[in-house]
Structure 1
Amino acid sequence: MACRNWGFCDLSVNNTYELSKLDTIQKLEYNTIAINTVVEETSDEPKKKRKKGDLKEKKDSIPSPIDIPKDIQDNTKLNILQRLTLEFSDSSISHKMNQSENLKKYDIIAVIPKTLQAFQYACGTMDIDIITFQPESKIPFKINRKLYRQATERGIFFELMYSPAIRDATSRKNIISTAHMYHAIGKSKNIIISSGADNPIHVRHVHDVINIGFLLGLNSNESLEVLRNNARSLILKSMGRRSGKHYIEIKECDNKISK
């Protein structure tokens, strides 16, 4: 088995993206993608009364990852990961996560905190990989340096998505504002840039994304770090989260050591 090359990563491709067109992403020089399933926050529905003798129905509040057809897996060189993004407002989300069997099927766990309380909980307590925000609206609370540092010290990454900026002027303004805020309070530490695309026309070449980094307050070296090294660190951290506190991956490589 060849050594895994994570290379350049796009860790947010919407699960509505047409899988037969994944080769488009590969041609744009990406090595790894994450198919993103978003679970929006919903109000709890009233519980139905069970009749005596009826078995209790156990329903998972988190859906399974989408199925990647075998022919697509066999005909792509992309590393395809599964990502879950949960929208939440308070710490009660932990109960849903702990009770979910489907959550264990995902490689990467991201959250969208909708309140300051949720953001504090994500930064300080949750066992997650990414904190992200919907770019269609401004972040509804203030992010301070202390919380940002707390999250990064725990190995959590902050995401910026460029695809919404291509589609919408308001999203573009919000994304640029968020990026510069991250730079001001945390020197853009633990940032990843992903597409968030649901359509091939909204995915940009690796070198174009590096140029987009200039608008987000990053120089070329920082943009390269964000697309490759930060994403790789995130993936390895997510492996550790699923495997326990300590994680080591050993694979046999094809390369032979020359004498």
Structure 2
Amino acid sequence: MATEETKTRKKHMEFTPMTPETTFQYADLNIKHINPENTLAMVKRAIRMGYDTVAINVDLGDIADYYTELDMLWTPGNKSNVDGEPPKKKKKKNQRKDELADGIAGILKKKLIPPPHFVDVSQLDFSDLEKRGKVFRQFSRITFTANEQVVINKVFIHPTVLSYDIVAVRPGDSSVIDTLSRKTELFDIITIDHLEENRGKWLSGSKVMDRIRNDGVFYEIAYAESLMPATRKNTLFNGRVLIRSLKSKNVIICSGAETMLDLRSPVDVMNMSLLWGVANNEARKMISGFPKNLLLQAECRGTGNGDVCSMKLSEAEKMAGNDEDEKEENGEEEDVGNEDVEEKMETVKAPPIDVRMNVSQYKALLQATKNANDMMKKIKSFKAAAASSSSS
């Protein structure tokens, strides 16, 4: 069973492409939410440019400025009881009272983490996407800067953070990267936007970054900052160091747009990737293939992590509705058609464990179990026939 630490995100996302009409092409997973009108205008422009998937990003900045579950556990520096103090420690009483007052005042200054934002799809025009056979998808994303390791321990299990589809972290120090490498199941993206050159020295730490990448976490480059003269140098430098360290694997390029002028079409983004030394055959993956893998990974993280169950083959056969072995033992034979098998699969009882999957995935699992059982029966019958022929 899953522990309390492996809490699942209560997300709305349901991305898994089950049918051909839900094909995935281009994605911009970083459209920053400033106000509803501006966000709606940017999403409309992104659809006209050819994007069929967008993520509305709520960027908090430094997460230490926001109220988290860690603040509920705040105590003064000395945790002993104030009332039962001996007379010798009267001076420390006042000190602890001041610390308590300062701590409460600091908590009251903090802000609440905002909920996810979605645009109203009824105000969007999908005619261009329908002509190309595409389906529009929007997801929610939260991004924050982590400068302290202590904050990370509680922010990922905050109820509001768990409600977002995608969680992105902006590391502020190399020590934070070490902590994130042990918590890769709790977030999806490491972004390097707003990183100064002297704060991005951890980008060259290939061993830690490879370990994070192998766990399914993606790295992000926001090209909107490369369009501004003030941040162009650092953005290009950090991006080249990142791509060189990761060899262009698990790197996505997003806009990070705050205004409509920051958005670029998918073709322009692929051409712009040459500034970071990306090869032509790798550029398309960074706005199409890797974002698709990221969304699938994020959807998987919304299920119960660590739920593992083993069962006997006979129990799996009962799950799939295959009771031919029992009938053979009783001397009964019955020809079952495809329609009867489908009816049995529809009326099969629920599995003895809490399996978090949709109906199509569950039916596919049952069908795969049935096929495996049929194969085992054919192998047994072939071996029996071979043994009888050799004996004769």
Please report the TM-score for the alignment, with normalisation by the length of structure 1.
0.82
Kept in 1, the 8 Å contact 2:192–2:238? The answer is no
Give the drift of 1:101.
1.2
Distance 1:213 1:70, change over 3 A: closer
CA contact (8 A) 1:60 1:100 kept: no
Runs of at least 5 residues in structure 2 that lack an aligned partner in the other structure: 1-17, 72-101, 127-134, 308-355, 362-392
| Partner in structure 2 of residue 31 of structure 1 | 52
Greater RCO, 1 or 2 (C-alpha within 8 Å, sep 6+): 1
Judging changes above 3 Å, is the alpha-carbon distance between structure 1 residues 43 and 67 closer, same or farther for their aligned structure 2 residues? closer
Q: Which amino acid aligns with 2:263?
A: V
Among residues 172, 178, 184, which one is paired with 1:114 in the alignment? 172
- Structure 2 CA distance for partners of 1:60 and 1:174, relative to 1, 3 Å: closer
Number of residue pairs aligned between Structure 1 and Structure 2: 242
Contact 2:57 2:140 in 1 (8 A): yes
* Aligned position for 1:62: 113
Distance 1:90 1:81 in 2: 28
Query: In structure 2, what is the Cα distance between the partners aligned to 1:68 and 1:27?
Result: 16
| Secondary structure, aligned partner of 2:258 | coil
Aligned-pair CA distance for 1:29: 0.6
**CA-CA distance at 1:151 after TM superposition:** 1.0
CA distance in 1, matches of 2:141, 2:153: 19
| CA deviation after TM superposition for structure 1 residue 110, in Å | 0.3
Q: Pick one of 29, 35, 40 that aligns with 1:20.
A: 40
Matching of residues 189-228 of structure 1 within 5 Å: 189-228=249-288
Specify which structure has the higher proportion of strand.
1
Task: Judge conservation of contact 2:146–2:152 (CA < 8 Å) in 1.
Answer: no
Conservation of the 8 A alpha-carbon contact between 2:167 and 2:187:
yes
1:88 equivalent among 146, 157, 166:
146
**Alignment pair present for 1:48 and 2:104:** yes
User: What is the Cα deviation at residue 139 of structure 1?
Assistant: 5.2
User: Residue 65 of structure 1 aligns to which amino acid in structure 2?
Assistant: P
Match of 2:221 in 1: 160
Say if 1:124 and 1:19 are closer, same or farther in 2 by CA, change over 3 A: same
Letter matched to residue 5 of structure 1: T
Partner of 2:113: helix, strand, or coil? coil
Percent identity, aligned pairs only, is 22
For the residues of structure 1 that align with 2:174 and 2:277, how far apart are their CA atoms?
A: 25
SS of corresponding position for 2:55: strand
- How far apart in 1 are the matches of 2:252 and 2:172? 20
Q: Distance in 2 between matches of 1:209 and 1:158?
A: 16
Change (3 A) 1:70 1:123: same
Structure 1 residue 249: deviation in Å?
Answer: 5.9
TM-score when normalising by structure 2? 0.56
